[in-house]
Amino acid sequence: MIIAALALVGLFVAMYLWFFKLGLIGSLSCKIGGCEKVNTSPWAVFLGQPVAMWGVLYYVAMFATAFASTLERFADDRRAALALVVLAGWGVAFSGWLTYLELAVIHAVCMYCVISAIIVVIVFVLAVVEWRSTERP
Amino acid sequence: MATSKKRASQKQFTYVIAVIAIIGAGALGWMATRPKSGGTEIDPNLPVGTAEGFVLGKPDAPVQIIEFADFECPACAQFAMLTEPDIRARLIDKGLVSVKFYVFPLPMHKNTWSASNAAFCANEQGKFWEMHDRLFYTQDLWNTLATSNPDKKMKAYAEELGLDASKFNDCYDSQRHYPNIKASGIEAQNRLIDETPSFIIGGKRYPGSLPYDEIKKLVDAELAKVGAADTTKKGAK
């Protein structure tokens, strides 16, 4: 449940950055760090699409999986828990790469990216705990 | 008992998700629909004035570089701070090159019109380039992220540069150069400039913040064409 709630928060953070890329919200509200510098850099694009758009899709997948795992019929299903571990693990790796780029290449930190990175780390820890607690068939 | 507890917990979970969804959607909706505050609202019916380029160096220098830049663009500031000092010392001061600078205000930069206005008004008192340098070197202090009201900063810069404050403020507040700023932007578009900074050297467009070595190479090629002495012979490196 906590994972689904966190995924929803992450989804709105990613949507905010995506809306910025689409030009819907003017400039980013960013009191700490260089959000605009990060989000207008060449590294803000992945496979031809804004990283923020991938973030939206990622969090939608995470929310859907986490939500499904709260349903009674999936309560003891290890597959849902494993899917969350894999999703969150990918998120941690990707966020780690983006954080490296911010610190070492772009030399600016986007606080929304930091929030997203914190969310995926917490989700990863919770997902591993959840997975380990589910009974083996 | 366990089932009812589970149901209650599921209900709580639904409430939490609903609250997050409402807050998130509300915040995003507000941000997407709020009036874009800060900076200058430009009247779409503003008349078009004269595209005025500001020249640095001898106007009859053998090679002319035309630069299109936005005062609020980070890459333009980077160029002004890192590359331009070399261009001035090694090419302009030796009489080999002149630079003609056009402002190209980009729509996503809310304070760039104010900065351009300050530069045009400083030009009235013969200090365009001093204001140009001040704006680029302190860009993070007055850009959209730093303030929604750059006017105070612009007027403070005018005083610091020793401009007649009353004349500058009259000029700045009247916005009389806005038509010329608009014309400069149109000039950039007419020349198919689509990013800042961009340069025209020898009739060709070069987008992006070019490093000094590349500019030197292009200038040398132009000097060779016009038959001027090689920059190296004149001491430029």
Judged by a CB distance cut-off of 8 A, whether residue A133 touches chain B is no
Residues of the domain holding A57: 2-133
Judged by a CB distance cut-off of 8 A, whether residue A4 touches chain B is yes
pLDDT confidence of residue B4: 65
pLDDT tens for each residue of A51-107: 889 999 999 999 998 888 888 777 777 888 888 899 999 999 999 999 998 888 877
A26 and B28 within 8 Å at the Cβ level: the answer is: no
Neighbour count for residue B21 (Cβ, 10 Å): 13
Q: How far apart are CA B155 and CA B121, in angstroms?
A: 10
Judged by a CB distance cut-off of 8 A, whether residue B192 touches chain A is no
pLDDT confidence of residue B56: 95
A5 and B32 within 8 Å at the Cβ level: the answer is: no
**CATH number for A20:** 1.20.1440.130
A70 and B110 within 8 Å at the Cβ level: the answer is: no
pLDDT tens for each residue of B3-46: 666 666 777 778 888 888 898 888 888 877 765 544 566 777 78
pLDDT confidence of residue B34: 64
pLDDT tens for each residue of B127-158: 999 999 999 999 988 988 788 889 999 999 99
Judged by a CB distance cut-off of 8 A, whether residue A107 touches chain B is no
Q: How far apart are CA B148 and CA B208, in angstroms?
A: 27
Alpha-carbon gap: A92 to the closest alpha carbon of chain B (Å): 23
pLDDT tens for each residue of B65-118: 999 999 998 889 989 999 999 999 999 999 999 999 999 998 878 899 999 999
A70 and B10 within 8 Å at the Cβ level: the answer is: yes
pLDDT over 70 at B200, yes or no: yes
pLDDT confidence of residue B173: 94
Neighbour count for residue B120 (Cβ, 10 Å): 23
pLDDT confidence of residue B119: 97
The first and second tokens of residue A68, run together, are 């499904």
Nearest CA in chain A to B145: A30
> Which DSSP string corresponds to B148-164?
S-THHHHHHHHHHTT--
10 Å CB burial of residue B34 (0-12, 13-18, 19+) is exposed
Of B20, B74, B145, the CB nearest to A8: B20
In the structure, what pLDDT confidence band is assigned to residue B122 with cuts at 50, 70 and 90?
very high
Q: Give chain B's end-to-end CA distance (angstroms, integer).
A: 86
Structure pTM? 0.58
Listed range (B40-49, B117-126, B191-200, B215-224) with the worst mean pLDDT: B40-49
Nearest CA in chain A to B32: A25
Q: Is B57 left (phi over 0), alpha (psi -120 to 50) or beta?
A: left
Q: Which residues contact B150 (CB under 8 A, 6 or more apart)?
A: B39, B111, B114, B115, B142
DSSP state of A42: G
Percent of residues, chain B, with pLDDT higher than 70: 89
Neighbour count for residue A35 (Cβ, 10 Å): 23
Q: Is A17:A55 a contact under the CB 8 Å cutoff? A: yes
Q: How far apart are CA B104 and CA B181, in angstroms?
A: 8
Instruction: Select the more confidently predicted residue: A44 or B6.
Output: A44
Instruction: Select the more confidently predicted residue: B72 or A19.
Output: B72
Q: Is B50:B187 a contact under the CB 8 Å cutoff? A: no
Q: Which residues of B touch A30 (CB under 8 A)?
A: 145
Judged by a CB distance cut-off of 8 A, whether residue B89 touches chain A is no
How many domains in chain A? 1
pLDDT confidence of residue A58: 93
Q: Which residues of B touch A34 (CB under 8 A)?
A: 145
In the structure, what pLDDT confidence band is assigned to residue B221 with cuts at 50, 70 and 90?
very high
Question: How many beta-carbon pairs under 8 angstroms link A with B?
Answer: 51
